[in-house]
Structure 1
Amino acid sequence: MNERDDLYQTREAHSADFRFDDAVARVFPDMIKRSVPGYAETVAMSGIIAGRYARDNTRLYDLGCSLGAVTLAMRHGVRARGCQVIGVDNSASMLERAAHYIALDDHSLAGDPVAVELLQADICSLTLDNASVTALNYVLQFIVLDQRLELLTRIAEATIPGGALILSEKISFEVAEQPLQDALHWDFKRANGYSEMEIARKRTAIEDYLIPEREEVHRQRLLAAGFSQVIRWYQCFNFVSFLAIR
């Protein structure tokens, strides 16, 4: 079902032409594994964090869920009763494949598994409520800059006291550090089999679409949104994960 990511061996790239279409959905597991250092750890730890912060009779949201890896990690991590995990994405192609993985998981679980619902929606206009845990992994970087605080504020307002937001992002750095972080990321891609042409074409395709920010910007915005505490719990090169507590 999943294919090797060779999209940019043949696809010409133009600035901001990257979209989560069916072609990307088909290769997404391979693409993200070979492109995002630390991705597997982020998924697994999202499940562990969900286990700590989920509360009885609350919702857990995976916003921008793509194929549902974090949705399933949270489902398996939850120990509270009466919870529901809601995966949300605006890509029908992603959700079609996510539904397949959820169905496989349903068949593999005994007893009364945590309920999972998938929604096709724009997370910037979605109504959120009674959330104990929300995951926003590698998604905020694709949101228009002037909409980011509003989205995080709505998440904070929907989060119960003591609830948590998991935020994972590609970040930018001080001018002196940025070239090394970029080089290490490209080395990671080369080590995973991407050619120089593929790396360059992918960079061109997303350079106006994925807008990273510095760590302090994320911290300040999360606090301004209404979270009381922000910690960085993981970093691998230029990808960072934060835990924000309501």
Structure 2
Amino acid sequence: MNEPDDLFDRPSAPVKPFEFDADVARVFPDMVRRSVPGYAELVGLAGLIARRVVRPGTRCYDLGCSLGAVTRELLLQTPPDVPVIAVDSSEAMIERMGARLAGVPGIERLVPLCTDLEAVEVSGAGLVVLNLTLQFIPPERRDALMARLRAGLVPGGMLVLAEKVEIPDAQGGRLMRILHEDFKRANGYSELAISRKRAALERVLVPETVETHERRLDDAGFAGHLRWFQNLNFVAWVAWT
């Protein structure tokens, strides 16, 4: 059962740095639906990319899988011999993902790992997905991670990367921030919740510019990349070997 996200509507509770703990796992489907514009379309389209890209004999990785929304699409859209390796460092997320995906066709191919994604050996990958994940990795470690993921992809393999981005233009950046907060208000978040969640995410979620992400993909050795999705300040790319 999906519970409503009321975590930041408690004025008496101290604002702590955001973490994917049991409380967040409990309300995560509602939180992400009301916080990330276009989230459902982003997840569904990632599955369609997998359907076109993933070949028999390869592996799929969902790094930072949370409750398994993308993992579910990978199970539904990829060949029956392809393991889907779903990684998250939050034990609460991994536990709830198992319950949420029970009965999904292909569930026997799921390999859940509760560990730091930077510790996972990626090899033989037809597809790697980082869906709103890289933004939680310290910026100084992102280049090395991307290079390692590129090295773990097979020829013809692809990376799907989705991120909240920083808009460097002062006027454009301000407009995107305002519209994102308006999106949250339209989805029922209070001014208190918006303010407290912003404070909790400060220095935990560190967005970068589109140019920084694309420079990193180039430096990692991808043959090419394409921006295929944007909704407000949320952008997704596909990069290929």
The residue that corresponds to 2:132 in the other structure is 138
1:114 CA drift (Å): 6.6
AA aligned to 2:180 is H
Q: State the alpha-carbon separation in 1 of the partners of residues 181 and 80 from structure 2.
A: 43
AA aligned to 1:187 is D
The residue that corresponds to 1:151 in the other structure is 145
The residue that corresponds to 2:94 in the other structure is 95
The residue that corresponds to 1:67 in the other structure is 67
Answer yes or no: is 1:122 the counterpart of 2:121.
Answer: no
Q: State the alpha-carbon separation in 1 of the partners of residues 173 and 221 from structure 2.
A: 30
Q: State the alpha-carbon separation in 1 of the partners of residues 229 and 112 from structure 2.
A: 27
The residue that corresponds to 2:38 in the other structure is 38
In structure 2, the CA distance between the partners of 1:155 and 1:13, relative to structure 1 (3 Å rule), is: farther
Map 1:97-246; keep pairs closer than 5 Å.
97-105=96-104, 109=105, 115-173=109-167, 174-246=169-241
Look up the SS of the partner of 2:222 in the other structure: coil
Look up the SS of the partner of 1:5 in the other structure: coil
Q: TM-score, normalised by structure 1?
A: 0.94
Look up the SS of the partner of 1:234 in the other structure: strand
In structure 2, the CA distance between the partners of 1:104 and 1:82, relative to structure 1 (3 Å rule), is: closer
Q: State the alpha-carbon separation in 1 of the partners of residues 239 and 72 from structure 2.
A: 21
Structure 1 unmatched ranges of 5 or more? none
Look up the SS of the partner of 2:57 in the other structure: coil
> In the TM superposition, what whole-angstrom CA distance separates every residue of 1:121-167 from its partner, at most 9, and x where no partner exists?
11112111100001100000000001101111111000001110000
Q: TM-score, normalised by structure 2?
A: 0.96
Identity %: 45
Q: State the alpha-carbon separation in 2 of the partners of residues 166 and 42 from structure 1.
A: 10
> In the TM superposition, what whole-angstrom CA distance separates every residue of 1:164-185 from its partner, at most 9, and x where no partner exists?
0000000011222110000110
Look up the SS of the partner of 2:8 in the other structure: helix
Answer yes or no: is 1:48 the counterpart of 2:43.
Answer: no
The residue that corresponds to 1:26 in the other structure is 26
AA aligned to 1:137 is N
Alignment coverage as a number of residue pairs: 239
Please say which of residues 32-41 and 167-176 is displaced more in the overlay.
Answer: 167-176
Q: State the alpha-carbon separation in 1 of the partners of residues 31 and 24 from structure 2.
A: 8
Structure 2 unmatched ranges of 5 or more? none
Q: State the alpha-carbon separation in 1 of the partners of residues 231 and 14 from structure 2.
A: 27
Aligned CA-pair RMSD: 1.3
